[in-house]
């Protein structure tokens, strides 16, 4: 079928390629002339046959909102917009309402798979009406992995359910990565274990901890043994935070996912204000030596007799 695709970055570019390989007609729009198929959103709308389906694959937040607002202007009643970005699920209701004013449908689609999706297919979680989802099924079938539809695609519920599911997916992902990471660090710390890379690789088949993330970890270590080339400074991209906020809203204990999130926060600090406070306290009550911020000298404990 025919699809408009707005946003041809790391994800959108690959998705266009995969969709075309599956026989769909994709007209892509991106502000960068070297990748776009059409000069403007207006031209995109004009090039598509009504009723249109347009997939939005741009950064979450303001850019998604602006794109959807612009699409509302150039699309018509009966068209359908799919937001495939990592939008917060609370944005979906607003986006859907904005489009509904003109009779345009809306689906939120959580998309997982990263740069590997082109080859392996993308895991898809979507939210929207039965009719809207039905209409876009050929697109979903092309994007998702081969095999049974239910193994790589779900219509999770009404508008918002797709991004909610993707958000939780990413929260879990934080926890999984941190679990492997802690185990990796412990193996590295123990002299008995002389082949850490080999141990991780041996877990690839047969073990309880085998997973795609483990495969990637093995591959990363093959490329950069002992991670000499990489720093521990780790970004977080929003969905881990939202997951913990949702856990709080629902009073769901989330010690693992939050610990993984906080480890990323800590990884970005040159020095921790909290730990300065702890260190200062130890010095106050115990006269314990502390490390000076700039030198190796230690501060003297206070004299309680004064």
- How far is residue 152's CA from residue 149's CA, in Å, rounded to a whole number? 6
Minimum distance of its own copies from residue 17's CB (angstroms): 10
Active-site option among 134, 166, 185, 229: 166
HSE, CB side, 13 Å, CA atoms: give it for residue 245.
Answer: 10
Q: C-beta of 296: minimal distance to its own copies in Å? A: 10
Residue 47 C-beta: closest distance to its own copies, Å: 28
Q: Would the CA dihedral through 154, 156, 157, 161 be positive or negative?
A: negative
305 is known as an active-site residue: no
Q: Coil, helix or strand for 154?
A: strand
Asked about 166 being catalytic, the answer comes back as yes
First-last CA distance in the chain: 84
Q: Which is nearer to its own copies, 32 or 49 (CB)?
A: 32
Q: How far is the CB of 41 from its own copies (least distance, A)?
A: 26
Q: Toward its own copies, which CB reaches closer, 23 or 286?
A: 286
**Rounded Cα distance, 292 and 179, in Å:** 33
Nearer to its own copies, 8 or 27 (CB): 8
DSSP H or E stretch at residue 31: none
Query: Which listed residue (10, 119, 146, 173) is catalytic?
Result: 173
Give the nearer residue to its own copies in terms of CB position, either 1 or 214.
214
Tokens of 248: 């709080």
Classify residue 19 by burial, with Cβ atoms within 10 Å: 0-12, 13-18, 19+.
buried
Residue with tokens 């939005």: 56
Closer residue to its own copies in complex, CB, 77/195: 195
At its nearest, how many Å lie between its own copies and the CB of residue 109? 11
304: tokens are 């309680």
- CB contact set of 254 (below 8 Å; sequence gap of 6+): 171, 243, 244, 247
- List, by residue number, the catalytic residues: 166, 173
């Amino acid at each position: 079928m025919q699809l408009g695709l707005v946003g041809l970055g790391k994800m959108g570019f690959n998705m266009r390629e995969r969709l075309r390989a599956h026989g769909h007609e994709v007209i892509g729009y991106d502000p960068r002339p070297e990748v776009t198929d059409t000069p403007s959103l207006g031209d995109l709308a004009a090039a598509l046959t009504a009723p249109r389906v347009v997939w939005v694959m741009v950064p979450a937040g303001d850019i998604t909102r602006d794109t959807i607002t612009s699409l509302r202007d150039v699309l018509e009643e009966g068209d359908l917009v799919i937001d495939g970005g990592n939008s917060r699920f609370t944005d979906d209701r607003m986006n859907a309402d904005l489009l509904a004013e003109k009779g345009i449908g809306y689906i939120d689609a959580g998309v997982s798979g990263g740069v590997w999706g082109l080859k392996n297919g993308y895991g898809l979680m979507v939210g929207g009406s039965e009719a809207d989802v039905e209409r876009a099924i050929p697109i979903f079938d092309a994007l998702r992995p081969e095999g049974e539809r239910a193994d790589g695609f779900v219509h999770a519920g009404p508008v918002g359910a797709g991004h909610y599911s993707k958000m939780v997916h990413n929260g879990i992902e934080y926890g999984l990565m941190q679990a492997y990471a802690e185990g990796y660090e412990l193996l590295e710390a123990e002299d008995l274990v002389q082949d850490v890379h080999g141990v991780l690789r041996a877990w690839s088949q047969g073990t309880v901890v085998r997973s795609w993330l483990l495969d990637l970890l093995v591959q990363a270590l093959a490329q950069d043994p002992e991670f000499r080339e990489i720093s521990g400074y780790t970004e977080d991209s929003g969905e881990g935070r939202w997951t913990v906020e949702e856990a709080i809203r629902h009073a769901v204990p989330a010690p693992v996912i939050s610990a993984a999130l906080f480890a990323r926060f800590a990884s970005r600090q040159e020095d921790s204000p909290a730990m300065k406070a702890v260190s200062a306290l130890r010095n106050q009550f115990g006269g314990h030596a502390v490390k000076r911020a700039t030198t190796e000298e230690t501060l003297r404990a206070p004299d309680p007799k004064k």
